[in-house]
Structure 1
Amino acid sequence: MLDSQYWWLISLPAFFALGWMAARIDIKHVLSETRSLPAAYFKGLNYLLNGETNRAVDVYVEVARHHAETVELQFTLGHLFRRRGELERAIRMHQKLLARNELNDVQRQQAQFELAQDFMKAGLFDRAEALLTELQHTDNARLARTELLAVYQQEKAWRKAIEIAQQLRDDSHNYQHEIAQFHCELAEQAMSRSLPEEAHIELNAALSANRQCARARSLLGDLAMAAGDADEAIAQWLAIESQDPDYLALVARRLLTAWDAKGKTTEGTHLLLRLLSQYPELDVLDLTYERLMAQKGLEDAYQFVRERLRNHPTMPGLRRLLETHLLIAPDDQKPELEIIVKLLNDATREQSMYYCGSCGFKARQYFWHCPACAEWETFSPVRGQRSRTPH
């Protein structure tokens, strides 16, 4: 009975001894691995940690020249070449890795993926596509498809992009915005080829993928207007109000053109004033001012911008008020007003730009697809607004 109760006291030192021996073996293994690495490897690592990429590359090139068996080092070197923009060297490094027979499956797939990224950076999209397509049948399938999606967008291969985006859908990202935009791209291609029926099919598919797609509604309005149906065009453009009223700014001028085509110029102006009153952030101040100037004259336009500034004070509104006041001011006041207007224009120039909510890229024209970060629907339709975030 005593033996069964206290056997663990006897065996405890044995367990400690076994653990000590295992630790010694692991330490010896680590020390052996460390000693097998060339000292220059750590020198290069130190350069990397200090942000001295160029010096690190020089060191690792020398190490790789004398230690060809260092696979991971060659991966690191290839990555550094690509980061520095030395794409030919990165491609050669990863091609050499792929040619090695001793690579295991994981290393070979990694080399393929790295080489595909080299080709993408170099603009060799067909070669990148071939490598990434092969990787779709491996454990790196999702990663490869994500890069393939980028390739197809660069090549404007929208049907392939739709197919890949549908394969990538999961709980974290359903790609509904991207798929809708790809259909809109196809619709614009059809419209440029004078194929309205095909364009309608694509735009309906876009709304099926994302019923909040303002671009699809905008293009449906364009199709209706091109067919001479101003009523349908107005209906499509006004439907954007239920999706996101800020996007009405992008079609406001076209809305007025449609009302003019119906011979109802005054109704169009009233609609514009109603929208601006209902949605104070709507970016149609300049258009409304132009409209009132053309229809009712300077006095009405001046009263409009004064009231607008009182109800919704903004720097662009102040700029417009001063510009209008300059037109009616006495001659002796104009020199000072011109200086103020110029200073205000300089100060508010940034507020006349469209901004990407993802990367901050700014542009004078509106983009559905950011030229800098390649995200979709990240530009705010309100100039100067930077708060819009990607879906």
Structure 2
Amino acid sequence: MDFDLQWLLLGLPLAFALGWLASRFDLVQWKREQKDSPKAYYKGLNLLLNEQHDKAIDSFIEAVQQDPDTSDLHFALGNLFRRRGEYERAVRVHEHLLKRADLPASERERAQHALAQDFMKAGLFDRAEEAFKALDGTVFDTEARLALLALHERSRDWRAAVEVAAKLERSGSGSFSTRIANYWCELALEADARQQTAEADAALQRAREAAPQAPRPLIMAGQRARARADHREALQQWGTLMAAHPAAFNLVAVDYADSAKALGEGPAALERLDALYRRGPTTDLLAALARLDEDATRQRRRVLSHLQHQPALSAAQSLLQLSAGTPLDDAESQALRDTVARAAKPLQRYRCAACAFEAQHYFWQCPGCLGWDTYPPQRQEDL
């Protein structure tokens, strides 16, 4: 059959016209989709700024449907789900991102970090740990290790915490020596609870090596020595603590006094504690001095002096106990009145039920949150 060139000449322009129309239709549709997607995105952003989270989520879902390849929209939607407490939906969004083969490495790391945060917020700590570990060597390395450190502390996995904290310190993320010392102290306590003395000794030594100036290892060393009736060793450890960390010494001041009495070294210890008390009077040192100086008159005089310079309820209680059966003189009565007035002052305030703003006077409109009738008509001490 002969082919008619006339039909070919007529068909070529027609095919060209149809192709051009189809391309124009696709181009118009693509432009419309590109135009609608930013509109939905900006609408969602505006709703988010106005704290309308539900409507913002709907708008971002619409934007994702119109432009499913834009990762930023997925991140915005996933973060919104997490903030709303919809962790399962947030996980699905970020897992969907991770499954995309065309996702750049930087975006993949970002999605992995977001997924780890989803698991963390949802309380799925084992899955969060795995997700954070997968970020090792990425730009989120430091953030992931800090999150892992928090996870290990929460689960009381102190050896894992030591390892992560050491990595953070080696990477230049700051000093973690004191925290590492605390982890080893916790391990020492656990070993003592299992009656594994050698392991506890080793852990405490590691704590002192990690932070030689930390007070807790010295405190624990003295406490462990006192527990085995080695009062000489306890005084030696706590004597070092007294010189290096006088503020932390308050935690064992009474135990120090008791160990000194057990060794018959009460007068020398009384002199040391009195000198420390004069430099920085505290109720703990006051109680320790009372253990070493049992003369009621001197104790009463010492407590009165403390109240006059540093009103404290525990000291006032000591004075009342020491004065049982004998009347208070004017100075003692005045010191007690001043102490009680100081302790009662914070309880004489009104507190807003909406924002907890406290004030000495009753407000019908809270100065803090500007709410009306948010103050209960009773002071704190009456609630």
Pairwise CA RMSD of aligned residues?
Answer: 3.5
User: Any conservation in 2 of the 1:316–1:348 contact (CA below 8 Å)?
Assistant: no
Residue 316 of structure 1 pairs with residue 316 of structure 2: no
The residue type paired with residue 193 of structure 1 is: R
User: For 1:316 and 1:208, how far apart are their aligned partners in 2?
Assistant: 38
* Aligned partners of 1:289 and 1:305 also within 8 Å: no
Q: Is the alpha carbon distance of 1:266 and 1:95 closer, same or farther for their aligned partners in structure 2, counting shifts above 3 Å?
A: same
Deviation digits for residues 89-146 of structure 1 (CA, Å, limit 9, x no counterpart): 2222222222233322111111111111121222222212212222214343333222
Identity across the alignment (%): 34
Q: Please tell me whether the aligned partners of residues 322 and 337 of structure 1 are also in contact (alpha carbons under 8 angstroms).
A: no
Shift in alpha-carbon separation, 1:114–1:255, aligned structure 2, 3 A: same
In structure 2, what is the equivalent of residue 143 of structure 1?
143
CA distance in 1, matches of 2:243, 2:289: 25
**Aligned match of 1:344:** 342
Corresponding position of 2:59: 59
Partner of 2:161: 161
The 2-side partners of 1:330 and 1:81 are apart by 66
| Amino acid corresponding to residue 324 of structure 1 in structure 2 | L
Per-residue deviation, residues 76-101 of structure 1 (Å, max 9, x unmatched): 22222222333222222222222233
Q: 1:348 and 1:37, CA in 2 relative to 1: closer, same or farther beyond 3 A?
A: same
What displacement does 1:47 show?
Answer: 3.0
Deviations 1:230-278 (CA, angstroms, capped at 9, x unpaired)? 0101111121123321000111122122123324445444443222113
TM-score between the two structures when normalised by the length of structure 2: 0.70
Question: Runs of at least 4 residues of structure 1 off by over 6 A?
Answer: 31-34, 334-340
Number of the residue aligned with 1:194? 195
Structure showing greater relative contact order (alpha-carbon pairs closer than 8 Å, 6 or more residues apart) = 1
Q: What letter corresponds to residue 299 of structure 2 in structure 1? A: A
2:86 corresponding residue in structure 1: 86
Q: Deviations over 1:159-191 (max 9, x none)?
A: 222122222124451311121111111111111
Unaligned runs of 5+ in 2: 1-30, 348-383
Relative to structure 1, the CA distance from residue 338 to residue 130 in structure 2 (aligned partners, 3 Å threshold; closer, same or farther) is same
Counterpart mapping for 1:1-391 below 5 A: 35=35, 37-169=37-169, 170-171=171-172, 173-280=174-281, 282=282, 284=284, 287-288=287-288, 291=291, 295-297=294-296, 299-309=297-307, 313-316=309-312, 320-321=315-316, 324=319, 327=323, 328-329=326-327, 342-347=340-345
Aligned equivalents of 2:333 and 2:256: distance in 1? 38
Residue 218 of structure 1 and its aligned partner are, at CA, apart by 0.8
Q: 1:127 to 1:321 in 2, by over 3 A?
A: closer
Q: Does the aligned pair in 2 maintain the 1:323–1:341 contact within 8 Å?
A: no
Where 1:135 maps in the other structure, the secondary structure is coil
**Structure 1 residue runs without a partner (length 5+):** 1-30, 350-391
SS of residue in 1 equivalent to 2:304: helix
Report the CA distance shift for 1:348/1:270 in structure 2 as closer, same or farther (over 3 A).
Answer: farther
Alignment partners' CA distance in 2, 1:57 and 1:268: 69
Which amino acid in structure 2 is aligned with residue 157 of structure 1?
D
SS in 1 for 2:138: coil
Which whole-Å CA distance do the structure 2 matches of 1:110 and 1:119 have between them?
Answer: 14
Aligned partner of 1:347: which letter? K
Whole-Å separation in 2 of the counterparts to 1:55 and 1:323: 62
Give the counterpart letter for 1:166 in structure 2: A
Q: CA–CA distance in 2 between the matches of 1:68 and 1:197?
A: 61
| Matched residue type, 1:320 | A
Q: Which has the larger radius of gyration?
A: 2
Q: How many residues align?
A: 313
State the TM-score, normalized to the length of structure 1.
0.69
Task: Say if 2:37 and 2:63, in contact at 8 Å, map to a contact too.
Answer: no
